[in-house]
Amino acid sequence: MPGVALLVFREVLEAALIISIVCAATRGVDRRGLFVTVGIGLGIVGALLVAMGAGLIARIAHGSGQEIFDACVLLAAVVMIGWHVVWMSKHGRELAQKMGAIGSAVKAGSSSLTLLLVVVALAVLREGSEIVLFLYGMAVGGIGATGLIGGTALGVGGGALLGFALYFGLLRVPMKHFFNVTNWMLVLLAAGLASTAARFLIQGNLLPSWGTQLWNTSWLLSNGSVAGKTLGILIGYDASPAGMQIVFYVTTLLLLGVSMQRLNSAKSAYPSRDHSLAPNGTSETLR
């Protein structure tokens, strides 16, 4: 049971951290809970399908199917996050101002919610498919139902707990900076996912590595430790990255960071442009 709990915990943790950041980033948006729940549900269905098709995925593209699949899932999440972050830079301030107002004022976020639903679904799909394959193996190997169910419950509970901790920690950020902080967290998350995608493509010999071990900080914090994994998701930490991973990381960081900043500064230079975007005229008085 401890073995089951530990593996499930590590996989759930990665998805839970991503879900927490997404939840924080969509704070105040109408029907957010529904979208996140649907995202998790779709992710679980996807995880089952991917686990069942694992043999097929492994055989396509001369045996590099898994790497291509993983990289595509990761890069799709990066694109969705990028889209959301840019969208939020346009509308985030209005959202922040309307947080105090109740009801219809916070509908504005829903168009971007679909993007984040996909991000949640992809995160659950990726980590979930490993859990399914692992549990299947354990079940075949003859571990009892108690060990299987108990271990899974412990692992899911533990991972979810850390996710909640991150979420409620983020809620303590003052409203004035809140969406700025969550947007930057999304940008760092996306940069890390892009770097992981590059790692898969290198592993499948589909991209050159441009230097396999640029540095090695395993002695300080290894990729295998829980702290290393957590930082891996949150900021894209990798103890010994390849050059190509850095290229993917920095490119994502610059693309999203710069477009976010440009949108923000354009907005403060021409504050009147915001007016037409506000769905509810009364919120203007809160300014």
Partner 1 sequence: MKRLLIIATAVVLALAGMAFADNLPEYQLVLKDHVYQPSELKVPAGTKFKITVHNEDATPEEFESTDFNREKIVPPNSSITVYVGPLNAGNYGFFGDFHQNTAKGRLIVE
Q: Which is nearer to partner 1, 180 or 203 (CB)?
A: 203
Taking the C-alpha atoms of residue 227 and residue 222, their distance in angstroms, rounded to an integer, is 8
Taking the C-alpha atoms of residue 159 and residue 215, their distance in angstroms, rounded to an integer, is 30
Q: Which is nearer to partner 1, 55 or 281 (CB)?
A: 55
Minimum separation from the CB atom of position 8 to partner 1 (A): 11
Long-range contacts of residues 216-219, Cβ cutoff 8 Å, at least 24 apart = 216/240
Q: Which is nearer to partner 1, 57 or 101 (CB)?
A: 57
Return the exposure string of 235-269: e unless at least 16 CB atoms fall within 10 Å of the residue's CB, then b.
Answer: ebbbbebbbbbbebbeebbebbbeebeebbeebee
Taking the C-alpha atoms of residue 283 and residue 198, their distance in angstroms, rounded to an integer, is 44
Q: Which is nearer to partner 1, 22 or 50 (CB)?
A: 50
Minimum separation from the CB atom of position 164 to partner 1 (A): 26
Taking the C-alpha atoms of residue 111 and residue 103, their distance in angstroms, rounded to an integer, is 17
Q: Which is nearer to partner 1, 87 or 134 (CB)?
A: 134
Minimum separation from the CB atom of position 268 to partner 1 (A): 29
Task: Name the burial class of residue 221, with classes exposed (0-12), middle (13-18) and buried (19+) by CB atoms within 10 angstroms of its CB.
Answer: middle
Task: Name the burial class of residue 65, with classes exposed (0-12), middle (13-18) and buried (19+) by CB atoms within 10 angstroms of its CB.
Answer: middle
Minimum separation from the CB atom of position 115 to partner 1 (A): 12
Judged by the rule CB under 8 A, the positions of this chain that interact with partner 1 are 3, 7, 54-55, 58-64, 66-68, 72, 79, 130, 133-134, 136-138, 140-141, 199, 201-206, 212-213, 216, 218, 222-224, 228, 238-242
Q: Which is nearer to partner 1, 159 or 204 (CB)?
A: 204
Minimum separation from the CB atom of position 55 to partner 1 (A): 4
CB 8 within 8 A of CB 157: no
Minimum separation from the CB atom of position 282 to partner 1 (A): 34
